[in-house]
Amino acid sequence: MNKSDFDSSLLAEFTAQDTLIAGVDEVGRGALFGSVVAAAVVLPLWAIPQLIALGVKDSKKLSPVKRQKLIQPIQNLVTSWQISFATVAEIDKLNILQASLLAMRRSVLNLPVTPDICLIDGNFPIPNLSMTQKTVIKGDLRSPVIAAASILAKVWRDELITDLAYYYPEYDLACNKGYPTARHLLAIAQQGITPEHRRSFKSCQ
């Protein structure tokens, strides 16, 4: 993400350089297997250019190696960060949208600091969050703070699914990370589903 890619209008109302900005994003919403994971990062307004200088961008536009290399620099730069999730049982009970918002809410509420504003990826605000928030469609492309959260969440969830792949080798999870690839769908058809598959998803029924 270059400076020219950053939508500065998202934070136009804030001028104090010590304003604490949170970026919140989730990963795993379209997967068939495993939890949906959300991350929140907080940093002061003045630190955003430093975040951009690290090479932070939408996690989907970075290689796994590059994402991994960015984890420590991001964690060192930000004031605070937190990762939370919603379980498969919660996804099946609530639906994937509400479970994603729940994971995001948990990540924000577990922060040890209170941000002045939360930038939320997507077009749905987090319910029952008693702080200022702004939804940002394609936020991981428009905001480096949201992009940083997407990287932390993506790496954390990928590692979780890779660990679970050991117990369910038939599903090629280490490669597909729980998403509906042809090989994953074939394994479901042949082997059935595991306790970590989302029963409420059509492909798992």
For residues 122 and 101, give the distance between their C-alpha atoms in angstroms, rounded to a whole number. Answer: 10
Q: Which DSSP string do the residues of 57-85 spell out, in sequence order?
A: --GGGS-HHHHHHHHHHHHHHSSEEEEEE
pLDDT in tens, 135-169: 999 999 999 999 999 999 999 999 999 999 999 99
Q: Hey, what are 150's tokens?
A: 């997407």
For domain 18-198, give the fold: Nucleotidyltransferase; domain 5 (3.30.420)
How many C-beta atoms surround the C-beta of residue 102 within 10 A? 23
Domain ranges of the chain: 18-198
Distance CA 78, CA 38 (A): 16
Residues 9, 145: contact at Cβ < 8 Å? no
Of residues 92 and 58, the one with the higher pLDDT is: 92
- Considering the entire predicted model, what is its pTM? 0.94
